[in-house]
């Protein structure tokens, strides 16, 4: 009774953002190639870069309370240009969901069950996400703090268990990474864990109090960022210079835990929380995708197109990359460049135009 139907509150939003950012914990790997043992610095720099960018998202959403980004585009750019820009968003959501889906596929295919066909994992995972999205945004928001709590506990536990083997001289020498590599690394980390939360532009509309959102989103971002930082520090401290040669550094470092020869397989837990976190992130992305497609087509509900969309996504994620190596290589370049205008500039420009045209006053009332 105290929770309104279809609405989420700001605390839930905080946990959603944290969980969403944490969902990319595996992907810190993409940056390890460039910055090696200095990844933790890149993570810190990325948090600093991401805060103003993400603030622009929230500012845009607070200016148009109760509306999602597709509606905002229509208002700000007019129906035709607005639709085109919305298509860019949809394209981004679709690709990002397929990347995350593929992450799960590769995780299980490589580390856990090499014999099974990847399409099976992709389809099963996508259907699970579709089930979650089918239930709506509210249940997802309601379980967000459970997901964050579980992942936080596991991370903390693993960190404590690994403190023994950590060697902080692994961070030395500081500042030996070339500047261009450092920028590259920051670009990757900003784009993938942090700015993918542009998907929240489809979610801010369901907030009960949009005005207060900014604080919570930024704090969610920071807390998620610090978990990434913890992971980067842990992996470098444990693995040292070998950090670049592993496919998944988190797995490797956790595998080193050995307590009384009983607790030797803590990497199982990495797999478990990884799955849960990516599930959460992918579900939010799928929700953003489904609602944006439904919105652009003017449908009353996204439920009818949910399953066909999921099916398309499964095929997309099965074919989008040839191999994990292709995945990593492409992500480091084309994968972040194609979305750069959208992630860093579009919301800010939209906001700017809205401010100049003094938009959300009479029009909003007419539309809603």
Partner 1 sequence: MIYVLTIYTLVAIINLPPLIKNGQKRELFAFIAFFIVAFVLSLLYAMDIEIPSPMEGLKYLIEDFMGLKYPEPK
Partner 2 sequence: MFGYLTRKINYYFLKAANDKANFRTNTGSATPVSIIAEPIDKDLSKNIENVKNVMSNSCDLAVHEFCFGYNRKHTGALIYISSLTDRGEIHKHVLNPLMYDSLMLKNNETENMFDIEDIGRSLLSITEYSVIIQLKELIEKLLSGSSILLVHGSTKALAINTIKVETRGVQEPDTESVVRGPREGFNENIKTNISLIRRKLKDPALCIEEMTIGELSNTKVAIVYLKTLANPKIVDEVRKRLSRIKIDAILESGYIEEFIEDAPYSIFSTVSNSEKPDKVASKLLEGRVAILVDGTPFVLMVPMIFAESFQSSEDYYSRPFLSSILRILRIIAFFLSILGPALYVALTVFHQELIPTQLLISVAAGHEKVPFPAILEALLMLIVFDILREAGVRLPSAIGQTISIVGALVLGQAAVEAGLISPIMVIVVATTAISSFAVTPQTDSSTVLRYFYLFLAGIAGGFGVMMGMLITLMHLASLRSFGVPYLWPVAPLNFSALKDVFIRAPIWKMDKRPSALKWDVDLQRQSRNLRPSPEKQEQ
Contact residues: partner 1, CB under 8 A: 34, 95, 119, 177-178, 180-181, 183-184, 187, 294, 297-301, 304-305, 307-309, 311-312, 314-316, 318-322, 330, 332-335, 337-338
Residue 263 β-bridge partners: 259
CB of 164 to partner 1, least distance (A): 32
Q: What is the DSSP letter of 172?
A: P
Partner from partner 1, partner 2, none binding residue 345, C-beta < 5-8 Å depending on class: none
DSSP category for residue 259: B
In sequence order, the β-bridge partners of residue 259 are 263
Which letter, b or e, does each residue of 194-209 get, where b requires 16 or more Cβ atoms within 10 Å of its Cβ?
bbbbbbbbbbbbbbee
Please say which residue, 279 or 302, places its beta carbon nearer to partner 1.
302
- The residue (of 214 and 311) whose beta carbon lies closer to partner 1 is 311
301 interacts with, out of partner 1, partner 2, none, CB within 5 to 8 A per kind: partner 1
333 binds, among partner 1, partner 2, none (CB under 5 to 8 A by kind): partner 1
- Residues lying near partner 2 in the complex (CB under 8 A) are found at 1-3, 11-12, 108, 112-113, 116, 120-121, 124-125, 128, 131-132, 135-136, 138-140, 142-143, 145-146, 261-262, 264-265, 268, 271-272, 275-276, 279
State CA 123 to chain mean position distance. 20
- Structural tokens at position 171: 């961070």
**Partner from partner 2, partner 1, none binding residue 332, C-beta < 5-8 Å depending on class:** partner 1
CB of 130 to partner 2, least distance (A): 10
Answer for the pair 19, 224: CB distance below 8 angstroms, yes or no. yes
363: CB partners within 8 A, 6+ apart: 75
Across the chain, which distance is largest between two alpha carbons, in Å?
69
Q: Cα separation of 167 and 164, whole Å?
A: 8
């Amino acid at each position: 009774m105290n929770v309104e139907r279809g609405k989420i509150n700001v605390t839930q939003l905080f946990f959603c953002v944290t969980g969403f950012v944490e969902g990319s914990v595996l992907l810190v790997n993409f940056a390890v190639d460039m910055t090696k043992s200095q990844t933790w610095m890149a993570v810190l720099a990325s948090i600093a870069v991401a805060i103003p960018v993400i603030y622009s998202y929230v500012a845009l959403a607070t200016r148009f309370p109760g509306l999602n980004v597709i509606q905002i585009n229509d208002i700000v750019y007019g129906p035709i240009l607005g639709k085109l820009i919305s298509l860019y968003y949809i394209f981004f959501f679709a690709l990002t969901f397929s990347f995350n889906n593929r992450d799960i596929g590769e995780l299980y295919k490589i580390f856990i069950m090499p014999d099974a066909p990847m399409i099976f994992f992709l389809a099963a995972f996508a259907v699970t996400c579709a089930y979650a999205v089918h239930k709506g945004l509210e249940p997802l928001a309601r379980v967000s703090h459970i997901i964050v709590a579980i992942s936080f506990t596991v991370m903390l536990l693993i960190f404590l268990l690994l403190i023994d083997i950590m060697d902080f001289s692994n961070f030395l020498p500081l500042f030996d990474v070339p500047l261009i590599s450092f920028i590259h690394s920051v670009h990757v980390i900003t784009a993938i864990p942090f700015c993918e939360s542009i998907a929240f532009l489809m979610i801010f509309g369901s907030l009960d109090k949009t005005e207060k959102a900014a604080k919570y989103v930024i704090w969610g971002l920071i807390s998620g960022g610090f978990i990434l930082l913890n992971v980067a520090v842990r992996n470098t401290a444990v693995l040292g210079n070998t950090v670049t040669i592993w496919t998944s550094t988190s797995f490797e470092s956790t595998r080193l835990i050995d307590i009384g020869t009983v607790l030797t397989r803590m990497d199982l837990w990495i797999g478990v929380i990884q799955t849960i976190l990516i599930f959460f992130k992918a579900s939010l992305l799928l929700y953003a995708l489904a609602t944006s497609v439904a919105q652009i087509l003017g449908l009353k509900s996204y439920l009818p197109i949910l399953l066909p969309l999921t099916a398309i996504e499964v095929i997309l994620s099965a074919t989008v990359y040839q191999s994990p190596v292709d995945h990593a290589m492409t992500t480091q370049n084309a994968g972040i460049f194609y979305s750069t205008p959208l992630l860093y500039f579009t919301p800010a420009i939209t906001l700017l135009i809205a401010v100049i045209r003094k938009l959300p006053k009479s029009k909003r009332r007419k539309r809603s």
